[in-house]
Amino acid sequence: MKKWYEKAGDQGDIIVSTRIRLARNLRNCPFPCKLQKDGMLKVDAAVKDAVLNGNSAIAGEFDYIDMGSLTQTDAVSLVERHLVSPEFASDREGRGLLLMKDESVSIMINEEDHLRIQVMQQGLALDEAYQMADHLDTLLDERLKFAFDDRLGYLTQCPTNLGTGMRASLMLHLPALQDSGAMNRIAGNLSKLGMTIRGIYGEGTQPKGALYQLSNQVTLGLSEQAAISNLKDIALQLVAQERAARETLVKHVETQDAIGRSLGILLYAKLLNNDEFMKLISNVRLGISMGLIDHISYDQINTLMIEAQPATLMKHAGKNLSPSQRDQRRADLVHSQLTH
């Protein structure tokens, strides 16, 4: 079965993926941070039961993963595949994960909240992802009874999630805007509009791979539909700005050179560390959108960007690898993925 990130998406030249995340808690049960291990296990069992043993259409779609039984490598690989948060992977006792077989839906149990329902889609797919999340929310609420207050909405451990409990995010590839130095200004403007944008890999002004996450900040006093609509409007403005910046860049032979070299190195290197890989693959992604590279698809790029991450590399190798061994395996993987 194809993973969600192996399918092409709308506005895929710039919008890599869409994520909807709902924070939910069980009624009459303390938040996870207030639970002992037996309390956490009870929550875990209840959620697991609701998903896997419910008579709903979704029961057969999910696998359950006991986080406490995972190796560090397998846990970090889940982070690299954007299925769980780094915090969830680092402290695994009493936590569980329900994972849809195509990895498009994950339900973290006992993260900051009892449930974090997350739906991922390729490209711009806010409405589809929200519908899926809403559908799951409805099904699970019938069995689990979520904590809800008529005035505050869904109750969450952190007040910034109160209300809808929804965080909608888009992963954007913004190399041309980053290159133009516009990102700081853009981030400042977006925060006034109740949005945040930040680098996905690495903090600072030049995130690795020029990948940014744009998210809504406001969850209180605004419907899910309104939040999603705002996010989409702003994302499409950023997409237009990025496309305009790319049109200027593509005319420069220096850009064409940098993109060509990036592809050449990816195809022929025998050692690739992750930082360099992210920089090169970002250039190749840009090259595809500019029509400079025509035999590589966004799906291939998106897949590689996940498969080439350190823990996921080791997971596929079935053993721990030294940094140098990883660099070698990454180069081999990139070569084989881009040439077949």
In the complex, least distance from residue 288 CB atom to a second copy, rounded to whole angstroms: 14
Q: How many Cα atoms sit within 13 Å of 276 on the Cβ side?
A: 15
Residue 272's nearest CA partner among 210, 207, 212, 338 is: 338
Measured from the CB of residue 334, what is the shortest distance to a second copy in angstroms?
A: 11
Q: Where does residue 165 rank: exposed (0-12), middle (13-18), buried (19+ CB within 10 A)?
A: buried
Q: Which is nearer to a second copy, 241 or 256 (CB)?
A: 256
Residue 13 CB, nearest approach to a second copy (Å): 21
State the Cα–Cα distance between residues 172 and 142, nearest whole angstrom: 35
Query: Both tokens of residue 299?
Result: 């799906």
Least separation, in Å, of the C-beta of 262 and a second copy?
8
Contact (Cβ atoms closer than 8 angstroms) between residue 314 and residue 321: yes
| Helical packing angle, 274-289 and 323-339, nearest 10° | 20
Question: Which DSSP string corresponds to 17-75?
Answer: EEEEEEEE-BTTS--GGG--HHHHHHHHHHHHHHHHSSSSTTGGGEEEEEGGGS-HHHH
Q: How far is the CB of 266 from a second copy (least distance, A)?
A: 8
* Tokens, residue 81: 């595949």
- CB-nearer residue toward a second copy: 257 or 275: 257
Site residues (vs a second copy, CB under 8 A): 253-254, 256-257, 260-261, 263-271, 324, 328, 331
Minimum Å distance from CB 289 to a second copy?
A: 17
Residue number, 14 or 265, with CB nearest to a second copy: 265
Q: Are 203 and 212 in contact (CB under 8 A)?
A: no
Angle, vertex CA 227, rays to CA 26 and CA 21, nearest 5: 40
Judged by beta carbon, residue 68 or residue 260, the one nearer a second copy is 260
Smallest gap, in angstroms, from Cβ of residue 261 to a second copy?
5
Nearest to 303 by CA among 336, 263, 260, 258: 336
Tell me the closest approach of the beta carbon of residue 300 to a second copy, in angstroms: 17
* Closer of 139 and 271 to a second copy (Cβ): 271
64 closest CA partner among 38, 44, 39:
44
180 or 325: CB nearest a second copy: 325
By beta-carbon proximity to a second copy, the closer residue of 87 and 257 is 257
Name the nearest CA neighbour of 105 among 114, 116, 94: 116
- The residue among 238 and 280 lying less far from a second copy, judged by its C-beta, is 280
